[in-house]
Amino acid sequence: MRGAPHPDWVVPDWPAARRVRSLVTTRSGGVSSGAFASLNLSARVGDDPGCVSRNRAILRACLPAEPAWIRQVHGTAVIDAAQATSESEADGAVTRLSGRVCAVMTADCLPVFLSERTGRSAGIAHAGWRGLAGGIIESAVRAMGAPPGDLLAYIGPGISASCYEVGEDVRNAFVDEDASAAASFAPCRDGKYFADLYALARARLAAAGVTEVRGGEFCTASDERFFSFRRDRTTGRMASLIWLEDD
């Protein structure tokens, strides 16, 4: 019998079909300690491997199958969850099969969930500024195998604009391609800008043809429920997961 998610975890509020299930973990519910307390799910950040294994087992008990963990590289590759391994370099995964769990890990970057409106396919993308500028959202939309107008999106917990200070290089990565992206950057000090990843992701989704978008209400850096690399540097990672149940 599958266990219930920890009450502190986030269940996306979006109009996905009933067979589409999604979940975002928080810091709560695990066994790690110190900077990784308590539900760190990444084996690549310096946490005790035994604790990570136990944390993943806690999460697995709430899922229909082991998540398709991937090796995220801030790129634009999207993989079919059925083909993914822990060494697959990708920043997104999709599935059209029930019981295949797509997953990304984050600690300030955005997890972007996608679902075909009737539940025929589901996917997720890891979208930091490099991935957004490079086209990870566009890659994930194409990989869904459905007309973009038939897709729904939910943007999960990420760093908010008031906490995300970037340099001119980051702004240029967007504005040099699309002048309208300047609206997502607010000057702050010493040639720096506050970058609104949520707004940048919404703009990319809209440009890709995805018009129904929910989420975007959390800030990982200011909310202690979440891991945040920008806030803490040495920290764990949350998981965002999506899968299809049997019809």
What does pTM read for this prediction?
0.98
User: Percent of the chain beyond pLDDT 70?
Assistant: 100
Instruction: Identify the helix (H) or strand (E) that includes residue 128.
Output: none
The model's confidence at residue 68, banded by pLDDT at 50, 70 and 90, is very high
At 107 the pLDDT is 98
**Amino acid identity, position 199:** A
Burial (CB < 10 A; 0-12, 13-18, 19+), residue 42, is: buried
Cα distances (angstroms) measured from residue 27 to each of 56, 116, 179, 220: 13, 29, 37, 11
Q: State pLDDT tens for residues 164-197.
A: 999 999 999 999 999 999 999 999 999 999 999 9
Question: Does 1 have pLDDT greater than 90?
Answer: no
* pLDDT band of 247, cuts 50, 70, 90: confident
Answer whether the bond into residue 38 is a cis peptide, omega within 30°: yes
**Helix (H, G, I), strand (E, B), or coil: what is residue 235?**
coil
How does pLDDT run across 111-146, given as a tens digit for each residue? 999 999 999 999 999 999 999 999 999 999 999 999
Looking at the domain 20-159+213-244, which fold is it? CNF1/YfiH-like putative cysteine hydrolases (3.60.140)
Domain boundaries, the chain: 20-159+213-244
| pLDDT of 97 above 90 | yes
Q: Considering the chain, what is the average pLDDT of its residues?
A: 97
The phi and psi torsions of 40 (rounded to 5 degrees) equal -75, 130
pLDDT value at residue 205: 98
> What is the rounded CA–CA span in Å between residue 13 and residue 84?
27
